């Protein structure tokens, strides 16, 4: 289903940009002083390009934005599930390296996630002899 939405959104964006480019290309032909058939044709092409290009471009962008938002929610849900499972298994003690390995994140992403959760749940910190910091969540 995702692939169909991506293809549809890409098609809509491409077609919308094409119509907008046609509309912009007729700007040089528009001249308010003349009322010739070519002038009317240029005006029709300009307004038609705007009328078709704007909704198609907006629709394709909205579809891509929805996919990105849905993907971000799935990632957050997966991280939350892994985080809570690790807390339960380790009695509330977790390190950045443990989370990074378990969730397949970079160290920076894991630290940022744990910092956010530590503020949210008022966790404390415990330095180890090796210099690592353990986050202690009170369960």
User: Is there a single domain that holds both residue 39 and residue 104?
Assistant: no
Tokens linked to 32: 């308010």
- Name 136's bridge partners: 93, 124
User: Is there a single domain that holds both residue 57 and residue 26?
Assistant: yes
List per-residue pLDDT tens for the chain, 139 residues long: 789 999 999 999 999 999 999 888 887 766 666 667 777 787 888 888 999 999 999 999 999 999 999 999 998 999 999 999 999 999 889 999 999 999 999 989 999 999 999 999 888 888 877 777 889 988 7
- Distance in angstroms (rounded) separating the CA atoms of residues 121 and 98: 19
Domain boundary among 41, 74, 107: 74
Tokens linked to 21: 């480019």
| The predicted structure's pLDDT at residue 81 | 94
Write the CATH number for 113: 1.10.10.10
User: Is there a single domain that holds both residue 3 and residue 70?
Assistant: yes
Residue appearing with tokens 């009328």: 51
**Per the domain annotation, does 79 fall within a domain?**
no
**Per the domain annotation, does 8 fall within a domain?**
yes
| The predicted structure's pLDDT at residue 32 | 60
**Per the domain annotation, does 83 fall within a domain?**
no
| The predicted structure's pLDDT at residue 38 | 73
| The predicted structure's pLDDT at residue 83 | 92
- Distance in angstroms (rounded) separating the CA atoms of residues 107 and 109: 6
- Distance in angstroms (rounded) separating the CA atoms of residues 16 and 51: 10
| Domains in the chain, number | 2
User: Is there a single domain that holds both residue 2 and residue 65?
Assistant: yes
- Distance in angstroms (rounded) separating the CA atoms of residues 53 and 12: 9
User: Is there a single domain that holds both residue 64 and residue 106?
Assistant: no
Domain span holding position 5? 1-74
**Per the domain annotation, does 82 fall within a domain?**
no
User: Is there a single domain that holds both residue 94 and residue 66?
Assistant: no
Tokens linked to 4: 């169909």
Per-chain mean pLDDT for the chain: 88
């Amino acid at each position: 289903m995702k692939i169909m939405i991506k293809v549809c959104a890409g098609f809509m964006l491409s077609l919308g940009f094409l119509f907008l480019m046609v509309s912009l290309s007729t700007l040089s032909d528009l001249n308010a002083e003349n009322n010739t058939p070519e002038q009317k044709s240029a005006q029709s092409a300009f307004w038609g390009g705007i009328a078709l290009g704007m909704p198609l471009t907006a629709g394709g962008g909205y579809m891509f934005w929805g996919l990105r938002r849905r993907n971000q929610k799935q990632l957050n849900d997966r991280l939350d599930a892994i985080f809570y499972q690790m807390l339960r298994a380790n009695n509330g003690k977790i390190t950045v390296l443990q989370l990074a390995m378990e969730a397949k994140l970079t160290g920076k992403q894991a630290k940022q996630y744990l910092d956010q959760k530590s503020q949210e749940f008022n966790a404390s910190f415990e330095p180890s002899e090796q210099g690592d910091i353990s986050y202690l969540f009170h369960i």
